């Protein structure tokens, strides 16, 4: 009986050592820092890089001087494609289509990313449409003329919600993990916002 207890204890001890070694080896295998940890710097192809979004494995950038939407490789910055578009305004991706806001007119277009054709058009807001974001179901847009952030129905453009922007010059807008992120170029700040109230988180 004592021998069997002793053998069992030895087996448990041996197994615990093996498990510990496996965990240690696995941890070392998972945590591998890149040899070059320098940040990637991308020189944009246009004269005035405006707004960015990510979709279909690429970065999409608007350029107000050329009136193009550029498709860039996010690892190298190389140009993969370009689409003829309108000047300025925010850009977003909904999983299938690009959305493009016209900066100087209250119009938002849904665009086919393969050829740049307009699939649909909805009314926007204000007269200085800037950042544009997609939350999985609705559009969000920051308008500088009214210093307001709006939530819009993507089918009709109807206002679903709105609140004052946290700063006087709302520009970039993004959605992540249930929150809005708004970059203000006047304040040199990025605000995390509660999308229900507009309160700064």
Domain ranges of the chain: 1-32, 49-193
Rounded CA-CA distance 197/80 in Å is 39
Residue 25, both tokens: 């080896």
Q: Shortest CA distance to 86 belongs to which of 107, 113, 57, 60?
A: 107
- 68-72: strand order across its sheet: 49-55, 58-63, 68-72, 79-84
Q: Who has greater pLDDT, 80 or 37?
A: 80
Q: Shortest CA distance to 191 belongs to which of 158, 152, 151, 163?
A: 163
Does residue 122 have a pLDDT over 70? yes
Rounded CA-CA distance 192/22 in Å is 40
pLDDT above 90: percentage of residues in the chain: 62
pLDDT above 70: percentage of residues in the chain: 81
Does residue 200 have a pLDDT over 50? yes
Confidence of residue 104 (pLDDT cuts 50, 70, 90): confident
Does residue 8 have a pLDDT over 60? no
Does residue 13 have a pLDDT over 60? no
Mean pLDDT, to the nearest integer, of 33-40? 58
Tell me which CATH code domain 49-193 carries. 2.130.10.10
Residue 184 in contact with residue 192, Cβ under 8 Å? no
Does residue 36 have a pLDDT over 90? no
Residue 108, both tokens: 């938002």
Residue 128 in contact with residue 104, Cβ under 8 Å? yes
Does residue 177 have a pLDDT over 80? yes
Residue 60 in contact with residue 69, Cβ under 8 Å? yes
Confidence of residue 14 (pLDDT cuts 50, 70, 90): very low
Mean pLDDT, to the nearest integer, of 82-99? 90
């Amino acid at each position: 009986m004592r021998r069997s207890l002793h053998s069992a204890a030895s087996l448990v001890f041996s197994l615990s050592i093996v498990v510990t070694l496996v965990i240690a080896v696995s941890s070392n295998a998972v945590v591998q820092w890149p040899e070059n940890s320098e940040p990637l710097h991308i020189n944009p192809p246009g004269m005035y890089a405006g707004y960015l979004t990510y979709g279909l494995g690429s970065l999409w950038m608007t350029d107000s001087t050329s009136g193009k939407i550029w498709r860039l490789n996010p690892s190298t910055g190389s140009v993969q494609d370009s689409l003829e578009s309108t000047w300025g305004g925010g850009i977003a991706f909904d999983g299938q289509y690009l959305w493009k806001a016209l900066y100087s007119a209250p119009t938002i277009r849904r665009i086919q990313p393969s050829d740049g054709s307009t699939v649909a058009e909805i009314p926007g807001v204000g007269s200085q449409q800037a950042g544009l974001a997609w939350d999985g179901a609705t559009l969000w847009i920051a308008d500088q003329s009214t210093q307001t952030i709006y939530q819009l129905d993507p089918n009709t453009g109807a206002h679903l919600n709105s609140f004052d922007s946290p700063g006087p010059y709302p520009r970039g807008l993004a959605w992540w993990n249930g929150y809005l992120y708004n970059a203000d170029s006047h304040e040199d700040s990025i605000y995390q916002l509660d999308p229900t109230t507009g309160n700064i988180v």
